[in-house]
Amino acid sequence: MDSSPKYAAVLFDCDGVLVDSERLTNTVLGEMLNELGWQISRKECISRFVGKMLRDEADVIEKHTGVRIDAEWLSHFRERRNVALEASLEAIPGIAEAVRDLDAAYPGLLACASSADRPKINLQLQKIGLFDVFDGRIFSGMELPHSKPAPDVYLAAAAALGVDPTETAVIEDSPTGVTAGVAAGAHVLGFCPDSPVHQRPEALEVVGAHEIFTAMDQLPGLLIR
């Protein structure tokens, strides 16, 4: 490996790719949906909501609870979620080493493009010690007209980096995110470890993932010649 990049830039999703946050987030979400009267299991909560923006799921939540979630409810959810993340968040195994290796090969050309709100993204990257790598190249779908599965956040990231989105690699772990990366024209690598909060490979392949990998120590070899 001679450390020459295979792509113009690498765009990372955050939740489930950089940080192991879905377990914590969905535990809090499940508790709050239970409080509204929806006795949803953590497994169903993960299946229904991973990779999606909660504000876009208001109709589903109202159907099951009779309650229309509003800005105040979402703010309360974010507060409770952030307490859990601050206390217990861990990095995806091997991601720190993989990102540092890639940062050397792609100086200034790594970005984090997430559906999450910016305070959450910042909190998480700081918690796992990778904020410095992505600082100035962090993009939130909540700040754009459309979040994933629309391609807006990946298109915005590519534009900010000054690269053609069709020449980028996108690292994703959910069908929603893979759909967004494919719509942006990127080469999408689907992360599918053996984990209850991650998808099976076929769930990502059916929406267009170009490659599947199962451990972060594989990633530099897929992105560096």
pLDDT at 2: 56
Q: Which amino acid appears at position 64 of this protein?
A: H
Catalytically annotated residue among 13, 20, 101, 117: 13
| Predicted TM-score of the model (pTM) | 0.89
pLDDT at 194: 93
Q: Is 15 tagged catalytic? A: yes
pLDDT at 1: 44
Q: Could you report the average pLDDT of every consecutive run of 10 residues in the chain (225 residues)?
A: 85 97 92 96 86 86 96 95 94 98 97 94 96 98 94 98 98 95 98 92 97 98 96
Displacement of CA 193 from its chain's centroid (Å): 14
Asked whether 18 and 112 are in contact (CB, 8 A), the reply is: yes
Q: Which amino acid appears at position 141 of this protein?
A: G
pLDDT at 22: 86
- Could you give the 3-state DSSP secondary structure of residue 132? helix
- Could you give the 3-state DSSP secondary structure of residue 3? coil
Helices (H), the chain: 22-35, 42-49, 58-65, 71-88, 95-105, 118-127, 131-134, 152-161, 175-183, 201-205, 219-223
Q: Is 13 tagged catalytic? A: yes
